[in-house]
Amino acid sequence: MARIRTDLCILGAGSGGLSLAAGAVQMGARVVLVEGHRMGGDCLNYGCVPSKALLAAAKQAQSMRQGGCGIPGVAPQIDYAAAMAHVQATIATIEPHDSVERFEGLGVRVIPAWGRFLNEGEVEAGGHIIRARRFVIATGARPSIPPIPGLDKVPYLTNETLFDLRERPGHLLILGGGPIGMEMAQAHRRLGAEVTVIEAERALNREDPELAAIVLDRLRAEGVRLIEGTRAERISGQPGAVTVETARGPLTGTHLLVATGRLPALDRLDLAAAGIEATQAGVSVGPDLRSSNRRVYAIGDAAGGMQFTHVAGYHAGVVIRPILLGLPARAGTAHIPQVTYTDPELARIGPTEAEARATHGPRLEIARFAFSGNDRAIATGRTEGLIKVMVLRGRPIGVSIAGEGAGDLIGLWAFALANGLKMADIAKMVAPYPTLGEVSKRAAGAYFSPRLFENPWVKRAVRITQRLLP
Ligand SMILES: Cc1cc2nc3c(=O)[nH]c(=O)nc-3n(C[C@H](O)[C@H](O)[C@H](O)COP(=O)(O)OP(=O)(O)OC[C@H]3O[C@@H](n4cnc5c(N)ncnc54)[C@H](O)[C@@H]3O)c2cc1C
Ligand SMILES: NC(=O)c1ccc[n+]([C@@H]2O[C@H](COP(=O)([O-])OP(=O)(O)OC[C@H]3O[C@@H](n4cnc5c(N)ncnc54)[C@H](O)[C@@H]3O)[C@@H](O)[C@H]2O)c1
């Protein structure tokens, strides 16, 4: 076995591992990056990128079908294989950025193999023994497959196989109404498939129900059949005919997509050999993302917590400080946004209204503004939408937005929360007219309006001043 000595060994070349490798090598560290499967990880190959590309194709089809602004709709000619070719072309365009060639060009040593710990300070991968000053586990997550009787005997899809389809499913059954389930439900419905979602609780149940309802109403109106509060009890069938038995009766479709959550991918690592503690949720880490083995950190999906590409990238930025410079660093969550890319989009940062009320009680104030009052939304015919801001002592602590462009609109609030800005700072902003961005300013306006317009002291001050002014 060849021996390698290095400063930093990263396991997993997905969103987190790649960000860390690029940053660390360019700052002068010797970096070994171990990847057992595809560079770019889940996000590029089976996650964010293909799902957003398919949603874009579906949105194109829907805008033709729906028409609007005086232009009548037309029946789109949908070629599912062509939509999937667009998905693959999107991946192929982004791929070079995450490639072995690019990282080797930066000076990273890439080992294309699965890695596993041999002891507290060594990893074995592809016939190499890597001894590093620090290790970072960035091995991501994979679909969690629920133990439903019969599921192991039928053909089913996950996000890892869905994008390989070239023939449109006639009727796609989806187990799970989380972000994966709802994004893929809308994409497939708009591309012409029949779609039924079976959700054990409430669809999009981590979101504010009032805002989730805006999205779910739209999906239902487009023909997605949503069966909530129902578990799959037994599954049977064969290719082309899969039946899910539920308390509300059997449901039969041509394909089944399992989207019931994701579990950290730790099984190949032999964590015990390195004294690294973990639970089902992920590697056990403190706020500094350090594991029970002080040489080893975990980032991204492998660290449990929020499963998003931007979180993996953020984690990379957090651990680079102690690893390269010995400086302290802590990862927070209060300023992390998340977006479900249905149409309309659903974006959130911080707690929902119910969560914020449970923590802060009557001290919490809520500012809201509906997209129906935004001139741009009216001009484009996209008036379904709402922004809701949770405010504590003049500062926003949480924001939920459902509506066209919500994922971009949440950016302003992510900036505000990351920098501890106040509602007054948002109110100071002059937003260009007519833009959807005005909804943020109007929400801040809604917060100050009662203070300004319903305040007898303000009225009295104005009357006195008016008497005194020449
Ligand atoms: C369908 C879908 C859509 C999504 N959409 C979004 C979105 O729109 N926005 C968003 O922010 N997030 C989205 N996500 C989540 C996002 O993809 C993940 O949060 C992100 O990829 C996590 O990055 P990571 O670096 O932790 O892991 P990954 O990107 O999964 O990378 C982990 C890598 O580690 C490798 N690996 C695993 N074990 C080993 C080992 N023992 N040795 C060597 N290599 C190993 C894997 O092969 C993989 O390449 C989506 C996920 C899915 C499934
Ligand atoms: N736009 C985005 O940023 C985006 C998109 C997709 C995925 N992701 C990430 O990937 C993660 C995983 O997504 P996901 O949608 O698979 O998981 P999820 O955990 O968010 O949702 C899974 C849903 O499945 C339901 N469920 C679980 N077991 C069930 C069963 N037996 N029968 C019926 N329903 C069942 C749950 O109640 C839940 O609502 C997300 O939490 C998110 O972090 C992000």
The answer on whether 233 is annotated among ligand-binding residues is no
pLDDT at residue 1 in the model: 83
d(CA 117, CA 268): 9
Residue 55 CB–ligand 1 contact under 6 Å: no
- Compute, in angstroms, the gap from residue 301 CA to the centroid of ligand 1: 7
The class level of CATH for 2-39+99-143+263-325 reads: alpha beta
Mutate to test the pocket of ligand 1, among 15, 37, 43 (most ligand atoms within 8 A of CB): 43
Residue 35 CB–ligand 1 contact under 6 Å: yes
pLDDT average per 10 residues of sequence, the chain (470 residues): 96 98 98 98 98 98 97 98 98 98 98 98 98 98 98 98 98 98 98 98 98 98 98 96 96 98 98 98 97 98 97 98 97 97 98 98 98 98 98 98 98 98 97 98 95 90 93
Reduced to 3 states (helix: H, G, I; strand: E, B; else coil), residue 244 is: strand
Give me the sign of the Cα torsion angle 293, 297, 301, 303: positive
- Compute, in angstroms, the gap from residue 257 CA to the centroid of ligand 2: 12
The answer on whether 28 is annotated among ligand-binding residues is no
pLDDT at residue 452 in the model: 86
Residue 35 — left, alpha, or beta (φ > 0 → left; ψ -120 to 50 → alpha)?
beta
pLDDT at residue 77 in the model: 97
Place domain 337-453 in its CATH homologous superfamily. FAD/NAD-linked reductase, C-terminal dimerisation domain (3.30.390.30)
**Cis omega before residue 287 (within 30°)?**
no
CA-to-CA dists, residue 135 to 83, 102, 116, angstroms: 40, 22, 11
Q: Which atom of ligand 1 is nearest to the CA of 302?
A: 26
Domains 2-39+99-143+263-325 and 151-260 agree in fold? yes
Mutate to test the pocket of ligand 1, among 116, 130, 161, 308 (most ligand atoms within 8 A of CB): 308
d(CA 85, CA 272): 43
CATH number belonging to the domain at 151-260, selected among 3.50.50.60, 3.40.50.12780, 3.40.50.720, 3.40.50.9100: 3.50.50.60
pLDDT at residue 451 in the model: 87
Going from N- to C-terminal start, the domains of the chain cover 2-39+99-143+263-325, 151-260, 337-453
